[in-house]
Structure 1
Amino acid sequence: MMNRRQLLGAGAAGATTLVSSRAWGQTLNMGLPEAAQMDSAATQPPVRPSSGPDYNPVVTLNGWTLPHRMNNGVKEFHLVAEPVERELADGMTAYLWGYNGQSTGPTIEAVEGDRVRIFVTNRLPEHTTVHWHGMILPSGMDGVGGLSHPGIPPGKTYVYEFDLIKSGTFMYHPHGDEMVQMAMGMMGMFVVHPRDPAFRPVDRDFLIMLNAFDIDPGTYVPRVMTMTDFNLWTWNSRIFPDIDPLVVNRGDRVRVRVGNLTMTNHPIHMHGYDFKVSCTDGGWVPEAAQWPEVSIDIPVGAMRAFDFTADHLGDWAIHCHKSHHTMNAMGHDVPTFIGADKTALTAKIRKHQPEYMPMGTAGMADMGTMEMPLPDNTIPMMTGWGPHGPIEMGGMFSVVKVREGIGAEDYSDPGWYENPPGEQAYEWTGKLPDFASNDSPETRLTPRPASKG
C-alpha cells in the first residue's frame, strides 16, 4: 500500500501546472501544488530524485521529505502552517503548531543551483512567516515579519522564490511571533545537495532536529513562556523509547546531520565510534580541516554534521550528554531522598493512598521497572527496555544499529544485537586479585589512617 506521499512523489515529475510567481503576493488555490500530508510518526523511506542531478536522499528520523513538482524548470513545494496533533510517544500526544500535518515539518530537499518556489499557506489563528535559516537569498525572501515582508495573514498564501547558491544543511522556522510559534513546534530542515554527486558522498544520510517542549503531565498544549525548564527533550518531536533507530549496514559511510532550535546547547555523543565533523550550517568543512570527536556540541540555532564508517557491529547508543535531556516529564521541584528512611512515612501515606510507592531512597533506577499510575497523556521519566532489562532513558536518545547484510533501501529495525561469545561483560564470582583489594599494601586509592599506639 502506498501512502499519500508516495503517490505524490510518483507523479511529481509530470506535474506542470502554470503558476504566477510574485515574491510574496497572494495566489489562487487552483494554482498551488498539492500540500502533501503525513500522519505517521515513523521514519519514512528516502525519496529518490525524479528529476535533475542525482543525489543520495536524506532519511529524516521519525519524519519525511516534502514532494515537489517541476514547473518550467522550477521546483515547487507547498508548506501549510497549521495546528497539528503530534504523537510524541506511544500514549502521549501534543497539540502543536507545525507544517503539513506534522511537527517538526517535512524536510525540503533540493540541489545546489536549483531555483525553488515555496508556497506557504497559513491556517494558524495568527499571522506567520518562514525564515530560511542559514541560506543566502534576496532580502525580501528572508522571512522576517515586518522587515522582509508583511506577515502572512490567516487564510492567505505567500510565495518565496530564490536560487539555491550553495549546498549544505539548513533549517526553516517562523520569524513572526517567533517565541510562541517555535515553542509550539514550528520548524523543519532544508537540505541542499551538492550539484556534483561525487562530492563527499555517503551511503546513509540521517537528519535529526533537536527541539523541546514544556507540557505538564495530563495536558496537551506546550507552555510557550518557558525559557529554560523544559520537561520534554525531543528529536524531531519524538522522545525515547519511541525514537526510531539509525539502521546501518556494516561498511556503510554514514552522515548524521543535527540541527538545534531549542533554548540550550546539546552535546551529542555516539558510543562505539569516533567521527569527523564534516559540515556546519555555514558550509562544508574542508577534509584537511575536519576534526575527530566522539561528542559534538550543537549550539542554539546551529547545525553540525558528522561522518563515520560503520565498521563496528552492534547496538550503539547515541544521545545528548546532558543527563536531564535523556529523561521524560521531568519534575523540577522533586526533592532528593537518597539515604532517607521513608518506612514510617510510607505507612502513614498508605492509610490514605494505598497504592503509594516510595522511591528515590537508593537512586531513581527503580523508576525504570515500576509501573505506577500516571496522569493521562504522559509517560514515565525514564523508560524503555533493551535485551537485558530496562534502559532507563528517555528524551534525546536512540540507538545506531550496525548489522551485516542490511539492504541499501532497508531502514527497518533489525531487533537487538546478540553479542558473540566472550564479547559481553559478565559477573565475576572468583577470587579478586590482590591489587583490586583495598587491603592490599600495593593499593593507594585513599590515604590510610595512622596506626594507633
Structure 2
Amino acid sequence: MAMGMMGSWVTHPKNPKLMPVDRDFVFLLSSYDIEPGSYTPRIAEMLNFNLWAFNSRVFPGTDPLVVRKNDRVRIRVGNLTMTNHPIHLHGHEFEVTGTDGGWVPKTARWPEVTTDIAVGQMRAIEFVANNPGDWAFHCHKSHHTMNPMGHDVPTLLGVKQGDLVKKIGNLVPDYMPMGATGMAEMSEMAGMMDMPLPENTLPMMSGTGQFGAIDMGGMFTTLKVREGLARNDYKDPGPYKNPKGTVAHEVINDLPPVERSEMTVPEGGTEMSVRKPMGHMEH
C-alpha cells in the first residue's frame, strides 16, 4: 500500500431499495514521503510525509465529483494514513450515514460540513446536491492541501528580502525565497517565471480556475453540481457559469466617509467599579 497500489472493495446490497443514492463515490486517503527527484517512496516512514493523496492522486491531478442538481450523493472515505483527517465540503450540509460498524440510523444523524476520520476508519457521508456550482472538497489540515514541501524552511512572512535575495542570487543563480506573503505567492512566482522543478516532483500549490490560481494541492478536489446532466454522465463540465450579480468583485471607487455620532462624556467623568464574584453562587 505504501507504493500507492491499492483500491476499495464496495459490496452493494441485493435489495436496491436499501439506502439508495444517485451517485456513489469512494476515496482512499493515503500519504507518502517522496524526496524531490526520487521515483520511490520511503516506505518505512511512519510520521513525516510530504504527499497527501485522494486515491493516490494529488490536486490538480484529482478528478472532480460531477453530479446532477438534486442528486442524492454518497461519498465513502477510508483513511489509510497515520493521522486523522477532518474532511470538509463546501456549499452543502451532509450527514454521516455509515461507519465501519454499519449504517447509522436516521435518528442518530445530524447535519455537518466537516467529519473527522481517524486512522483506519471508514465513513460514508450523504447529501442532496441542491446547490449548483463548483464546491471545494478537501482535508481541513492546511499542510494536507499542499504538495512536496520542506518543514525546515524558515518562515519569512512579512520580511522584505529584496537586498538579501540579490546577494544570494549572485552565489546561487536559481535561488527563490519563500514568499513574503505566503506559500501561494511562491507558487505563482514559479509559474510566471517558468522555473523548472526537480525531476519527478510537483509544485507545492498549484491549479487554475476561471478566476485565476487556485493555489491548492494534496487532498483537494471539487464537487461540480450541474443541471441537465445525463444520468451516467461523469465528464468534467468545465467551470461553473455564475449567474449575473453573484460574483464578488473588488470595490475600487472611494467609499463615502462613515458617519459617526460624537460620544459625549458626562461632566466630571464616569466612575466604574469592579466586583469579583465570591464563591460559585455568583458565577
Smaller-chain TM-score bracket:
0.7 to 0.9
Structure 2 counterpart of 1:241? 60
Cα distance in structure 1, aligned partners of 2:205 and 2:225: 25
| The structure with more strand, counted as a fraction of residues | 1
Cα distance in structure 2, aligned partners of 1:351 and 1:345: 10
Structure 1 counterpart of 2:278? none
1:383 to 173, 189, 206: 206
Cα distance in structure 2, aligned partners of 1:362 and 1:290: 41
Q: Say whether 1:434 aligns with 2:258.
A: yes
Structure 1 counterpart of 2:182? 363
Structure 2 counterpart of 1:149? none
Cα distance in structure 1, aligned partners of 2:256 and 2:157: 30
The one-letter code of the counterpart of 2:235 is S
Change (3 A) 1:235 1:441: farther
Structure 2 counterpart of 1:374? 197
Structure 1: runs of 5 or more not aligned:
1-181, 443-453
Cα distance in structure 2, aligned partners of 1:296 and 1:433: 44
SS at match of 1:399: strand
Q: Say whether 1:230 aligns with 2:53.
A: no
Change (3 A) 1:227 1:203: same
1:409 to 232, 237, 261: 232
Contact (CA 8 Å) 2:155, 2:178: kept in 1 or not? no
**Cα displacement string for residues 265-284 of structure 1 (whole angstroms, at most 9, x for unaligned residues):** 10000000101111011100
Overall identity of the aligned pairs, in %: 60
SS at match of 2:9: strand
Equivalences for residues 67-82 of structure 1 within 5 A: none
Structure 2 counterpart of 1:392? 215
TM-score, with normalisation over the residues of structure 2? Answer: 0.87
Cα distance in structure 2, aligned partners of 1:399 and 1:235: 12
The one-letter code of the counterpart of 1:229 is N
Equivalences for residues 274-293 of structure 1 within 5 A: 274-293=93-112
SS at match of 1:308: strand
Change (3 A) 1:384 1:440: farther
The one-letter code of the counterpart of 2:30 is N
2:248 to 425, 437, 441: 425
Structure 2 counterpart of 1:348? 167
The one-letter code of the counterpart of 1:270 is L
Q: Say whether 1:272 aligns with 2:91.
A: yes
Structure 2 counterpart of 1:45? none
Contact (CA 8 Å) 1:367, 1:383: kept in 2 or not? no
* Shift, 1:432, TM fit: 5.4
Structure 1 counterpart of 2:15? 196
Structure 2: runs of 5 or more not aligned:
264-283
**Relative contact order, higher structure (CA 8 A, sep 6+):** 2
Q: How large is the RMSD of aligned CA atoms in angstroms?
A: 1.7
Contact (CA 8 Å) 1:336, 1:360: kept in 2 or not? no
Equivalences for residues 25-424 of structure 1 within 5 A: 182-371=1-190, 372-424=195-247
The total of aligned residue pairs comes to: 258
